[in-house]
Amino acid sequence: MFPLGPHTIFLTLAGSQAHGTARAGSDVDLRGVCIAPMAVRLSLFDEFEQAEGFLDDELTAAVRPRLEAHPTASRGLEVKLESVVFELAKFVRLCAAANPNALEILFADEADWVFERPAWRLLYVQRHRFLTKKVQQTFLGYAMAQLKKIKTHRSWLLHPPTRKPAREDYGLPTAGGTLSRDDQNRIEQALADKLRSYGVDDIEMPKPTRIAVQERMESFWRDLLAVPEDELQDRMRAVASHALRLPADVIRALNAEKKYRSAMKHWDSYQTWKSHRNRARAELERAHGYDTKHAMHLIRLMRMGAEVLARGELIVRRPDAAELSAIRDGALSFDELQAQAECLRAEMEAAADKTDLPDDIDQAWVDLLTLSLIEAVP
């Protein structure tokens, strides 16, 4: 590991301190970028992508005055200060892939910058060229991950599992199985291959186009099979089983094993969640019936994604910070949250249809920009 201080080109506030939603008890998260020494970059044995934890003395001394002068971060210093510093190559790759966390660093409000070197400005002035139509999928994907957590935790909160699943609950023998493990694996692989053949994964096309086509195909299959979204995979699996002419008893055994494994995974996840619950998050769930902090991030991510698509701008310090804080405090019922999420999904889709953003990043330009940044640093 090399000393970060001389090689770091940028540090900024992140999280609630950068979004404008920090409150009493909010800690301070810093995110930044460094350019590793050439010996490390070219080494066949040393690898460096990011450094996490605490800053070294040189960087701490450099950023401390700005943190102490910041209106909210100054209070958070008493709670906790942590940082993540990405190596330039990884950071640029993440930005090129429209990773929401990386783009938030690139577009951070200048009032929240705590350390910079000239090389950072060379990257910052080009920031808008990293915005592509891919933000629809990445920001929506991150948001839907939040919603999935909310729904899962809410189901555990309202209807906690009462006992560990047993094989006999699914008509399976207590020990062993109706099919050998090799037979299960072989048939499952055949089913996976058949299901994959219904998709477009093996067709050469730009990733954003692929995602759009897959979504339309899923909509077609839901309508054709007349099933809700959460049952689509099971029905598709039934179609594939029929196409492979699997015997009815084999299909029953495979489906029973699959349901048992899924139930066990759900049980294990519940036990982990119950034993490792964050006390503050548990209180939010108890008070409001769902995790309102996840809800705040869900709405924020979807609004940011819609703004990028409609206006070509990523706004990190949120003008709607007060409303987002209210959502964290339980301003929305669970049903209202779901309704807002659906409206924002539709807004993002409409904005994506009209946006002037390119489908994907110019990879050759990204390579040249990265090389120029590396060469600009002594």
Among 119, 116, 85, 115, which Cα is nearest to 102's?
85
The residue type of 368 is L
Could you identify the residue written with the tokens 């007349």? 226
Conformational region of residue 282, where left means phi above 0, alpha means psi within -120 to 50, and beta covers everything else = alpha
CA angle at residue 203 from 357 to 139, to 5 degrees? 35
Integer Cα distance of 316 and 111 in angstroms: 11
- In the chain, what are the domain boundaries? 5-131+361-376, 133-162+277-358, 176-272
Among 371, 320, 315, which Cα is nearest to 104's?
315
Could you identify the residue written with the tokens 């210093």? 77
What count of Cα atoms within 13 Å lies in the side-chain half-sphere of residue 45? 1
**Token duo for residue 104:** 């938030």
Count of CB atoms within 10 A of residue 85's CB?
A: 23
Among 176, 198, 203, which Cα is nearest to 244's?
198
Which is it for the CA torsion 275, 278, 281, 287, positive or negative? Answer: positive
Considering the entire predicted model, what is its pTM?
0.83
**Token duo for residue 341:** 């999420």
Residues 6+ apart with CB under 8 A from 42: none
**Token duo for residue 219:** 């909509």
Integer Cα distance of 328 and 146 in angstroms: 13
CATH of domain 5-131+361-376: 3.30.460.10
CA angle at residue 321 from 318 to 327, to 5 degrees? 130
Q: Helices H, strands E: what count in the chain?
A: 17, 5
The residue ranges of DSSP E strands in the chain, in sequence order, are: 8-14, 28-34, 50-53, 81-87, 113-116
Per-residue pLDDT of the chain (378 residues; tens, 9 = 90+): 788 889 999 999 999 999 999 998 899 999 999 999 988 888 888 889 999 988 888 899 999 999 999 999 999 888 888 999 999 999 999 999 999 999 999 999 999 999 999 999 999 999 999 999 999 999 999 999 899 999 999 999 999 999 999 999 988 888 766 678 888 889 989 998 898 888 877 777 766 677 677 778 888 888 888 878 778 888 888 888 989 999 988 888 888 888 998 999 999 999 999 898 888 888 888 899 999 999 999 999 999 999 999 999 999 999 999 999 999 999 999 999 999 999 999 999 999 999 999 999 999 999 999 999 998 887
**Token duo for residue 212:** 């759009």
Integer Cα distance of 225 and 238 in angstroms: 11
CA angle at residue 354 from 350 to 356, to 5 degrees? 140
**Token duo for residue 136:** 């629809």
Among 188, 176, 169, 347, which Cα is nearest to 264's?
169
